[in-house]
């Protein structure tokens, strides 16, 4: 069986999940990856069979915790997206799995190829998933219409609906023996290193390990150690941390809660999905900060003395992949049956195709 797997590369979470899923997917057949986006910092060269690439529709951040809409608009080309969708050979594959990737969605719609939208964003097709008190119309539109598919399998912190499964947790995290070596792990790519240093240096009694896109090797600045982004290095830091401060994404918060680590989140300003995640994380007693304000130091100290709820997994990675494959196969079989029925009704078209 030939499997087309479209992976969004606007951050590290989608790629990290794809790397974890790959051995399980390959048990079902040959997997080709379409990597779309240009914001990831992870090396995929040895870990993912990337056959197709695109700059896609990428997210860019300002240095103050928000989205850089001007830069995003400048890099967006509708004509290029249309051409790439037209040229993407989704019709040559037995099943198509789409992790919130727009070009693949357009390609499947043009060619009438069924696909499964699989991942965290798919869960937002359910209105039972937590949202902020004030919904954002544009944000809801993006979550539900950015990558439409024939079927959806979502991932979230809790099973809010029947098509929503547990997070995919890396084997490294699943098999870890968590320990507290006293440091706090920080991953906030939507803030500059300068801003982070300015705030974290005030907490002199706490050691911080900050993962940064800027540094190429370890840099120590008093109580702050800046480290280059590396999947294994970040895992080790998180496993042995006292707590984790990060954005309100999905993968890292899920792993932190699974490990039983204390978690604090600062959602990216203007990113509706993160605001939704933040609402869900409040059910785990996770503090949500809008920004690093004058009260940040006190907030960190109070947080480290607090108690939080631990994440429990209801599905294994193997069972999640099995569910995705089963659903995708069903869609393909339905399409084949519909085509056979149509050709039976229109025998002249059937003869034309055979000729």
Q: What integer pLDDT is reported at residue 353 of this predicted model?
A: 42
Task: Check for a shared fold between 2-165+316-350 and 171-304.
Answer: yes
Asked if the model's pLDDT at residue 77 lies above 80, the reply is no
Asked if the model's pLDDT at residue 60 lies above 90, the reply is no
Closest CA to 10 of 142, 115, 123, 99: 99
Q: DSSP 3-state assignment of 351?
A: helix
Q: What integer pLDDT is reported at residue 55 of this predicted model?
A: 79
- Tokens read off for 207: 């050691």
Give the mean pLDDT of 133-145.
Answer: 91
DSSP string, 199-229: HHTT-TTSEEEEEESS-SS-EEETTEEEEE-
Buried residues in 336-354 as b, exposed as e (16+ CB within 10 A): eeeeeeebeeeeeeeeeee
Asked if the model's pLDDT at residue 121 lies above 50, the reply is yes
Give the mean pLDDT of 79-86.
Answer: 89
Asked if the model's pLDDT at residue 169 lies above 60, the reply is yes
Q: What integer pLDDT is reported at residue 67 of this predicted model?
A: 56
Give the mean pLDDT of 43-65.
Answer: 70
| pLDDT band, very low/low/confident/very high, at 343 (cuts 50, 70, 90) | very low
Percent of the chain beyond pLDDT 90?
74
Percent of the chain beyond pLDDT 70?
86
Q: CB-hemisphere CA count at 13 Å for 64?
A: 3
Asked if the model's pLDDT at residue 266 lies above 90, the reply is yes
pLDDT tens per residue across span 269-317: 888 999 999 999 999 999 999 999 999 999 999 999 999 999 999 999 9
Q: What integer pLDDT is reported at residue 332 of this predicted model?
A: 81
Interacting residues of 190 by C-beta distance below 8 A, sequence separation 6+: 61, 62, 65, 66, 247, 268, 269
Q: What integer pLDDT is reported at residue 75 of this predicted model?
A: 67
Mean pLDDT of the chain: 89
Q: What integer pLDDT is reported at residue 38 of this predicted model?
A: 67
Give the mean pLDDT of 204-219.
Answer: 95
Q: Is the pLDDT higher at 220 or at 353?
A: 220
| pLDDT band, very low/low/confident/very high, at 12 (cuts 50, 70, 90) | confident
Q: What integer pLDDT is reported at residue 355 of this predicted model?
A: 46
Q: What integer pLDDT is reported at residue 354 of this predicted model?
A: 43
Determine the Cα–Cα distance for residues 245 and 265; give it in Å rounded to an integer.
6
Pick the CATH number of 171-304 from 3.40.50.2000, 3.10.20.740, 3.40.50.720, 3.20.20.100: 3.40.50.2000
Q: Is the pTM of this model over 0.85?
A: yes
Asked if the model's pLDDT at residue 98 lies above 80, the reply is yes
Asked if the model's pLDDT at residue 40 lies above 90, the reply is no
2-165+316-350 carries CATH number 3.90.1150.10: no
| pLDDT band, very low/low/confident/very high, at 335 (cuts 50, 70, 90) | low
Domain ranges of the chain: 2-165+316-350, 171-304
Give the mean pLDDT of 61-74.
Answer: 60
pLDDT tens per residue across span 253-264: 999 999 999 999
């Amino acid at each position: 069986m030939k499997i087309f797997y479209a992976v969004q590369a606007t951050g590290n979470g989608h790629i990290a999940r794809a790397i974890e899923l790959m051995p399980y997917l390959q048990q079902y057949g040959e997997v080709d990856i379409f990597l779309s986006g240009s914001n990831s910092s992870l090396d995929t060269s040895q870990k993912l069979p990337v056959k197709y690439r695109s700059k896609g529709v990428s997210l860019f951040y300002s240095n103050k915790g928000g989205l850089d809409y001007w830069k995003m608009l400048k890099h967006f080309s509708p004509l290029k997206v249309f051409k790439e969708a037209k040229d993407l050979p989704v019709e040559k594959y037995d099943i198509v799995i789409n992790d919130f990737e727009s070009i693949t969605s357009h390609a499947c719609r043009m060619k009438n190829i069924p696909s499964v939208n699989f991942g965290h964003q798919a869960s937002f097709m359910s209105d039972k998933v937590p949202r902020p008190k004030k919904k954002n119309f544009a944000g809801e539109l993006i979550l539900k219409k950015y990558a439409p598919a024939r079927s959806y399998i979502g991932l979230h912190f809790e099973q809010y609906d029947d098509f929503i499964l547990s997070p995919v947790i890396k084997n490294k995290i699943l098999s870890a023996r968590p320990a507290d070596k006293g440091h706090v792990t920080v991953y906030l790519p939507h803030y500059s290193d300068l801003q982070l240093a300015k705030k974290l240096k005030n907490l002199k009694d706490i050691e911080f390990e900050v993962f940064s896109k800027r540094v190429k090797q370890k840099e120590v600045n008093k109580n702050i150690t800046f480290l280059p982004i590396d999947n294994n290095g970040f895992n080790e830091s998180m496993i042995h941390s006292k707590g984790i401060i990060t954005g309100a994404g999905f993968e890292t918060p899920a792993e932190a809660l699974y490990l039983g680590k204390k978690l604090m989140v600062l959602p990216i300003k203007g990113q509706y999905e993160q605001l939704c995640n933040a609402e869900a994380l409040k059910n785990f007693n996770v503090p949500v900060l809008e920004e690093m304000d004058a009260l940040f130091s006190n907030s960190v100290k109070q947080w480290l003395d607090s108690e939080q709820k631990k994440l429990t997994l209801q599905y294994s990675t193997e069972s999640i992949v099995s569910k995705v494959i089963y659903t995708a196969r069903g869609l393909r079989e339905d399409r084949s049956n519909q085509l056979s029925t149509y050709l039976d009704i229109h025998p002249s078209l059937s003869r034309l195709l055979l000729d």
